[in-house]
Amino acid sequence: MQDTLVSIIVPAYKAQATIDATIDSVIAQTYGEWEMLIADDCSPDGTREVIETRSRCDSRIRLINMPRNGGPAAARNGALHQARGRWIAFLDSDDLWLPLKLEKCLAFALERKAALVFTGYRRISADGTKVGRYLGVPSTLSYQQLLGNTAIATSTVFIDRQQSGDISMRDVYYDDFVCWLNLLQSGLPACGLNEDLMRYRVMQTSVSRNKRRSAQKVWAIYRNTLGFDAIKAAWYFSNYAVRGLMKYRSF
């Protein structure tokens, strides 16, 4: 691993309309020691061509062609397998970072000796014209606290692989949530940087937009992936649902 390099993990599928802006937000970072690994998950649109064009202009941008459409977990793993940096930052192909995102996360992680850092953010409309209220984060999260919490947004996550070791995603509906749980279950510290550093684009086609289906999948994680009994699963699910409702009560 290269000690000062940040490897940015980006799964992309049907992202032709948004990936340019996402790449622009990375190029605009005040911290410049990064590689952007964009795993195209066999997009049927022009996503791959856009990434190829941008990679020719900036060698830090690398296209990874997935051999078959496998979903976000497989795409993230495809990028993770080629990551060379000590630091891993996750970014979805329709989200944006503010310019100080990497610089502040790195300084905060070093200061707090944190294995996982997550930050505050705001939602934006699909066309980027509407910006929502600030969604802050707690100062720390333990495994038990995260079980019933929605505080960690994937595009804010920044991980120190020197502490976490190799990272991989499981092939489940919320692969990111399960990954954070696995890291915290080992006792690694997760620290919240309560600053506005990311824009989460609300897309009608995103995985989390169908709330009923999302609720069913979260329940399945508690019962099937984590193996909780019905009472324990119900307790954490109710906490997760209430926090989710509070978060999304207004834009």
Domain limits, the chain:
2-205
In the predicted model, what is the mean pLDDT of residues 232-250? Answer: 91
Residues comprising the chain, all counted: 251
Calpha distance 193→137 (Å, rounded): 7
* Model confidence at 203: pLDDT above 90: no
- 182 pLDDT above the threshold of 60: yes
Q: What mean pLDDT do residues 29-49 have?
A: 98
What is the mean predicted confidence (pLDDT) over 8-35?
98
Q: Is 227 left (phi over 0), alpha (psi -120 to 50) or beta?
A: left
CATH architecture of 2-205: Alpha-Beta Complex (3.90)
What percentage of the chain reaches a pLDDT higher than 90?
Answer: 90
Model confidence over 106-136: pLDDT tens digits? 999 999 999 999 999 999 999 999 999 999 9
Label residue 75 left, alpha or beta by phi (over 0 means left) and psi (-120 to 50 means alpha): alpha
Predicted pLDDT at 246:
86
Three-class secondary structure of residue 5 per DSSP: strand
Neighbours of 89 (CB within 10 A): 26
Contact (CB, 8 A) for 121 and 158: no
Half-sphere exposure of 11 (CA within 13 A, CB side): 20
pLDDT of residue 204: 73
Strands 131-135 and 116-124: antiparallel
Q: What is the pLDDT of residue 250?
A: 85
- Count of beta carbons in the 10 Å neighbourhood of residue 37: 26
Choose the weakest-confidence range: 6-20, 100-114, 205-219: 205-219
